[in-house]
Amino acid sequence: MINLRVGDQAKDVANVDQRDGGAILATTHLSFWYAKFLAIEDVSIEMPDRKITAIIGPSGCGKSTFLRCFNRMNELIPGTRIEGDVMFRGTNVNDRSVDPVEIRRQVGMVFQKPNPFPKSIYDNVAYGPRVNRYQGSMDEIVETSLRRAALWDEVKDDLKKSGLALSGGQQQRLCIARALAVQPEVLLMDEPCSALDPIATTRIEDLMRELREDLSIVIVTHNMQQAARVSDRTAFFTLGEAGAGVLVEHDETQRIFTTPSDDRTEAYITGRFG
C-alpha cells in the first residue's frame, strides 16, 4: 500500500512493480452534500488500474462532484459533507492521517478550461516538482513531462514563452504536462476537450491512450462519442428520484454503447433522454 501520510514525500517509483491491475480507485456507499443539497447518493464503484474510465450522464447529475471526491478537491468548498468511503489503492483518502496535498500529487487533475499559470512553459511544468522539493534534474523532468504530454516538439525551442501564449489545445497539453510532472498515478480529467476543436481533441485522446500505459485516467465527458472512443470502461450517472446524482451502471465501454443493461442508460446514450 502507498504511504499517503503527512510528511511522506516518498516517490512511487518503487511501487510500480506492485501494481496488480486491480482497482486503483473505489467508492463505497458514497454520498455527498453541498450544505443541505444532496448532490450524489450512495455510489459504489471500482475503477481498474491503468484503464480509462469515462463518466457520462446529463448535466447536474454530480459527475464532476464525484470526480473531485478522489483528490479531496470538494473540501475546498465550504459547507460540504461526505459519507461513505473513497479509496485510493486501499487507503481511505478522507482518513484524518492522509495529507490532501500528497493525495493531489498522486491523483492529478485536468480541468475543462485550460488554466496554465501566467508563467513560462518551463515554469508551468516545473511548478509542481519545485513545490514538492524535487531533488533530481529539473530540466529532465520538464522535458520528460512535455514529451509525455506530446507537446515537447512544439515548444522545445521556446520554453521561456508564456504558457498563455499557446493555442487552446497546446495549453491543455501543457496542463497535462504540469500534472504529469509530479508523477501522479491517476489523472482526473473534467471535460478536458470541451473547449477544444476536433483536431486538438484528437490529440488529447491519442495522448490519453498513450498515458494509459502507466497511469489510470478517469474522464468526465458530455461527449458520448468521446467516451466511446477513448475509454475502457464507462459509468453512467443520472438524476435519481430524490434529485441527487446516482450511478445507474458501469461496465465495459463496448457493452455500454452496444447493449447497456439499464433502460435509462439506453435512453440517454441513444438521445431519447427525458
88 or 236, CB closer to another protein? 236
Q: How far apart are CA 15 and CA 12, in angstroms?
A: 5
Long-range Cβ contact pairs of 64-67 (< 8 A, separation 24 or more):
64/190, 64/191, 64/220, 65/32, 65/34, 65/39, 65/40, 65/245, 66/27, 66/30, 66/32, 66/40, 66/220, 66/237, 66/245, 67/109, 67/188, 67/190, 67/218, 67/220
Buried b (16+ CB within 10 A) or exposed e, 101-126: ebbbbbbbbbebebebeeebbbbbbb
Q: Which residue lies nearer to another protein by CB, 42 or 251? A: 251
Q: Whole-number minimum distance, CB 235 to another protein, in Å?
A: 16
For the bound state, the minimum distance from the C-beta of residue 51 to another protein, rounded and expressed in Å, comes to: 21
For residue 199, the minimal CB distance to another protein (Å) is: 19
Based on CB atoms, which residue is closest to another protein, 36 or 272?
A: 272
- CB of 271: closest distance to another protein in angstroms? 5
Instruction: Kindly tell me which of 138 and 267 has the beta carbon lying closer to another protein.
Output: 267
To another protein, the closest distance from the beta carbon of 272 in angstroms equals 5
Closer Cβ to another protein, 150 or 230, answer by number: 230
> For binding to another protein (CB under 8 A), which residues are involved?
224-225, 228, 255, 257-260, 265-266, 269-274
